[in-house]
Each structure stands twice: as C-alpha cells, then as structure tokens.
C-alpha cells in the first residue's frame, strides 16, 4: 500500500512511494540518441547513483554541482533528480517545488532533453498540474518510443504499459503490455543508471496485476543490493500487506514510524506508515492498536501535509475507519 506516483505518465496515485529514485538520470556529453555516457563519465554517474541509494544526498548533490560547473544542462538534470529522490525519502515539499522550477529552466540535448521533459511532466503532475504534466510526459514518451537506446525504450515502456491498460477493453486495440514488462524486467537487472527506477515501476505494475509475490521478490532483490533502504522497506511492507502477511507488514511499518521522525520529523513517509498501520491493525482485528495509531492523526503536521499524501491511502482510511480525512 505504498505511495505516490508509481508512474510519471498520469501521475497515478498508489499507496506511499514515488516512482522511486527519479534522480537516476545522468547526462553529460552523451550521444544524441543514447542515454549511455562515455566511460569516465558513466563511472562518475554511477558513483552519484550509488550515493543517492545510500541516502548520502549531500555527496550526490556535490557531484551534481561539480558537473554543473562543467555543463550547466547536465548538472541541472542531475541536481533536480536528486532533489526528487530526496523528497521521496525525506518528504521536504520544497525539494519537489525547487525541482519543478529548476527543470523548467534547464536545457539539455538529445535524449537527455527528452528525459528532462519526461521528469518535468512528473513534477508538474505531483504539484497538481495533472493535464499539463500528462501532455508533457506523453510527448517525451513518444520520442523515447522511437529510440533504439535500451534505457529509452524502458522509459517508454513505463508510459506505454498504462496506456495499453487503459485501452485494453477496446476491440482490436494492440496490447503490448507483456512486452513492456519484459523490457522493464531486463532493464531493472542491467541498466547501470536507472535500474531502481525501472524496478520500482515494474513492482507497481505487478501490484496492479495482483501479482504480489512477483512484486515482493523484486523489492527483495533491491533490498539485497541496498540493505535497509527505507523506501524499499515500505514497498516491501505494502506487498506483505497485500499478501495478508499482516504481522510482517506491521513490523516494518512500526519500525519505519519510529525511524522517520528521527530522520525527517513528521514527514510524508511517517504519515504513510501511520496510516498503513491503522489499516493493517484494523484488518487484523486489533482494535486497541488501530485506535492508538488513529489518534496520532490528530496532529497539525498531518493536516498540513494531507494534500501531499496518497489519495488512495486516504480513501482506504476513510472507508475502513470512517475517519473524515
């Protein structure tokens, strides 16, 4: 039951976790129709990616600023992807607002300009400009779909899967969802810079399809690579909840609710943990714990951040608890 935007396309709201790691987009002197960098720069970009996945946002931003001093477009794209990723984790809404503003001013080249447009569509949707964001993302996805670059094809697959799903009821409509899943599975394993992004997108596709065991296995795959990553842990809890493994899901969210206030105060992910615990304990029939967590929602921070919280999670809470949220 986790989180935010599982896909940049329609800013589709899920439980509580951004199409994770939108920071993973590097660029510097790349070829026009490629998202792969020359070897030294590719290595540099991988170090930045690793820093973000290890939650060292200061180090990642320092590398981005160094790139920016040499190439303003490349550095800008990197910097704002890091801000989005930090928002996804720590929930400072100013990071999302700054990223949106900065991406509006950036100019890159080739497929990296397309990626900037793709991410700009995401930030606009996240900030409530859903129609404008969707149009921008659609235009960028069209360019990705015409590319032979494997990562560009995977970005297109993220978009195109949900388009095909939306029209699957139309007779004779071409449905290529299985192919898009294959592409995302391959790039979640082999993309040097974008694997967590593609992997997270695929997790939520599996979730939509009710293939929770596949989603859980993929989340665990990234937790092996990045042990204890707080966002992937919440994703894991969501899949366990979907599989009705309530005790395991509650244990993860209890830990998350204890740790996030120390890292980022009463932030978005803290409230996601609280809301999920209310639902989990409700489904377990543990009224005492459900009511204890429900009382925590009577807090100024919760009211202030409500517009940033996942719509589906709020609706589930309203339906199951009767709380007017």
* Contact (CB, 8 A) for 21 and 83: no
Q: What's the token pair of residue 95?
A: 């990071």
* Structural domain spans, the chain: 3-198, 244-325
Most trustworthy range by pLDDT among 102-106, 132-136, 320-324:
102-106
* Contact (CB, 8 A) for 123 and 96: yes
Distances (CA, A) of 223 to 30, 154, 325: 30, 22, 33
Tell me the pTM.
Answer: 0.87
- What are the phi and psi torsion angles at 291 (to 5°)? -65, -35
CA 278 vs. chain centroid, Å, equals 23
Q: For the segment 173-230, what is each residue's pLDDT rounded down to a tens digit? A: 788 999 999 999 999 999 988 999 999 999 999 999 999 999 999 999 999 999 999 9
Predicted confidence (pLDDT) at residue 11 exceeds the cutoff of 90? no
Q: Which among 136, 105, 99 is positioned nearest to 18, based on CA atoms? A: 99
Q: What's the token pair of residue 255?
A: 């830990």
Predicted confidence (pLDDT) at residue 29 exceeds the cutoff of 70? no
Enter the DSSP assignment of 14.
E
Q: For the segment 45-69, what is each residue's pLDDT rounded down to a tens digit? A: 889 999 999 999 999 999 888 877 7
Per-residue pLDDT, 37: 66
* Contact (CB, 8 A) for 230 and 256: yes
């Amino acid at each position: 039951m986790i989180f935010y935007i599982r896909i940049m396309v329609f800013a589709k709201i899920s439980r509580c976790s951004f199409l994770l790691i939108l920071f993973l987009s590097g660029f510097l002197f790349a070829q026009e129709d490629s998202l792969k960098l020359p070897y030294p720069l590719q290595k540099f970009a991988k170090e930045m990616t690793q820093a973000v996945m290890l939650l060292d946002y200061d180090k990642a931003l320092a590398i981005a600023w160094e790139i920016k001093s040499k190439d303003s477009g490349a550095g800008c794209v990197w910097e704002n992807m890091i801000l989005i990723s930090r928002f996804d984790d720590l929930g400072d809404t100013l990071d999302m607002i700054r990223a949106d503003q900065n991406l509006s001013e950036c100019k890159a080249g080739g497929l990296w300009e397309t990626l900037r447009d793709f991410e700009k569509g995401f930030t606009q949707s996240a900030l409530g400009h859903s129609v404008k964001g969707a149009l921008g993302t659609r235009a960028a996805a069209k360019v990705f779909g015409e590319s032979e670059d494997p990562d560009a094809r995977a970005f297109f697959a993220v978009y195109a899967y949900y388009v095909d799903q939306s029209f699957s009821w139309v007779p004779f409509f071409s449905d290529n969802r299985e192919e898009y899943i294959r592409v995302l599975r391959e790039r979640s394993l082999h993309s040097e810079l974008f694997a967590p992004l593609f992997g997270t997108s695929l997790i939520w596709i599996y979730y939509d399809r009710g293939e929770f065991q596949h989603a859980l296995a993929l989340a665990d795959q990234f937790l092996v690579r990045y042990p204890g990553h707080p966002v992937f842990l919440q994703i894991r809890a969501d899949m366990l909840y979907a599989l009705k493994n309530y005790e395991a899901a509650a244990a993860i969210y209890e830990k998350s609710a204890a740790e996030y206030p120390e890292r980022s105060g009463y932030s978005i992910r803290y409230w996601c943990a609280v809301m999920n615990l209310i639902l989990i304990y409700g489904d377990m029939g543990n009224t005492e714990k459900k009511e204890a967590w429900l009382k925590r929602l009577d807090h100024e921070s919760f009211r202030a951040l409500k517009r940033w919280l996942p719509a589906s999670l709020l609706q589930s809470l309203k339906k199951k608890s009767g709380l007017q949220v």
